[in-house]
Amino acid sequence: MTTDIKKGTPLDLSGMPASVLEESETNSWLRVVGVRFSETGRLVDFDAKELSLKLNDPVVVDDPVKGLRLGWVAKPPIRFDNDQLKLRLRRILRSANNQDLENYRQIEERERRGIETTQRAVNRMELPMKILRVESTLDRRKTTVYFASESRVDFRELLKELVHDLKSKVELRQIGVRDETKRTGAIGICGEELCCSRFLNRFHGVSIKMAKYQGLSLKPTKVTGMCGRLKCCLAYENDLYKDASRGVPPVGSCVRCSSGVCGVIQSTDVLRRLVTVEMEDGTIKIEPLDHILEVQTMKGQGGRRESSWDEEVSEEVASLDEEEVSEGVVEEMESEE
């Protein structure tokens, strides 16, 4: 059975590589291995060639953007027929040896000192920057400094000083509030460590509509996370609620129950398939969805009838609504020694 895969299509981790680059006709077979550079980092696919690798093995790769890096095997090698997939992946340079591991430990210490050095320079120059992380390549030729700021920063003088102090090529990257929270970490309102810091390796699209589907409060304090944006967990059960809500009459609809009594729907429980109905005599009853015989939405209303409070809250939360969330770099600058 042949799977039809278009060039550039993202592939899941169960049996296909996630990174698709330009086509190549040089190799008919590929041994694809997934490598992760941090516990919550993205899984990147590489060509393992004939290297003998297993789960959690340290490897050295050459990243065209971040340079020489040490990573760990997170997905064991899988063999593919490249005549069908037409993939071209970067190669793993070698399995990491003791010297690479010792060098990595020294770089970790160098990165900790780099944070202190950079923050002192920022404080001295009174720049509105918060230094979050410093990354150095395995060969120490390049250092990347991640920082957060509410505005654009002129860091040209800072860059010159860092090149002199760190003795390497330096790149400054300003990141967004989601990435800032992911790197600093915190405890969420649920009492658990933040999802982004613990296991999420990429940010997905989140919309206020997800909270509406799930019948959650639309108050900003309830739907926003530590970063001030919509909670990532709103998307976890969204598909389930979306499927379950099919066939459920909207709030405000006039209905006739199997008992022959008519009323107006006040609320719904899509998972248990129950609706709360205010009857003509003013009594409130909870009816199974199967007992609803006829549904007639309010005249001029195609769906849920919102109160003035709902409308005010919707306007207040509108600024938080994000259909697409990305980790794009806001600003970056490079300089060579």
Q: Which residues pair with 78 in a beta bridge?
A: 32
Residue 319 lies in a domain: no
* Whether the Cβ atoms of residue 157 and residue 201 lie closer than 8 Å to each other: no
Q: What is the pLDDT along the chain (337 residues), one digit of tens a residue?
A: 444 444 333 444 344 444 443 434 444 677 888 898 887 778 888 888 888 888 889 999 988 778 889 999 988 888 877 676 667 788 888 899 999 999 999 999 999 999 999 999 999 999 998 898 898 988 888 999 999 888 888 888 999 999 998 888 999 988 888 888 888 788 888 888 888 888 887 888 888 888 888 888 888 888 998 888 899 999 998 888 888 888 888 888 898 888 888 889 888 888 888 889 988 888 888 888 888 887 776 544 444 333 333 333 344 444 444 433 333 333 333 343 3
Residue 311 lies in a domain: no
pLDDT the model gives residue 250: 83
Q: Are residues 109 and 89 in the same domain?
A: no
CA distance 275 to 287: 5
Number of structural domains (the chain) is: 3
Q: Are residues 6 and 75 in the same domain?
A: yes
Tokens of 29: 């077979």
Q: Are residues 73 and 152 in the same domain?
A: no
pTM score, whole prediction: 0.61
Range of the domain at 156: 102-174
Q: Are residues 255 and 281 in the same domain?
A: yes
CA distance 38 to 143: 17
* Whether the Cβ atoms of residue 289 and residue 273 lie closer than 8 Å to each other: yes
CATH (domain of 138): 3.30.300
* Whether the Cβ atoms of residue 196 and residue 38 lie closer than 8 Å to each other: no
* Whether the Cβ atoms of residue 161 and residue 199 lie closer than 8 Å to each other: no
Task: Give the single-character DSSP code of 117.
Answer: H
Domain boundary pick from 174, 207, 234? 174
Domain boundary pick from 46, 62, 95? 95
pLDDT the model gives residue 259: 81
pLDDT the model gives residue 105: 92
Residue 241 lies in a domain: no
Q: Are residues 87 and 120 in the same domain?
A: no
pLDDT the model gives residue 306: 37
Residue 212 lies in a domain: no
Q: Which residues pair with 63 in a beta bridge?
A: 67
pLDDT the model gives residue 271: 87
Residue 185 lies in a domain: no
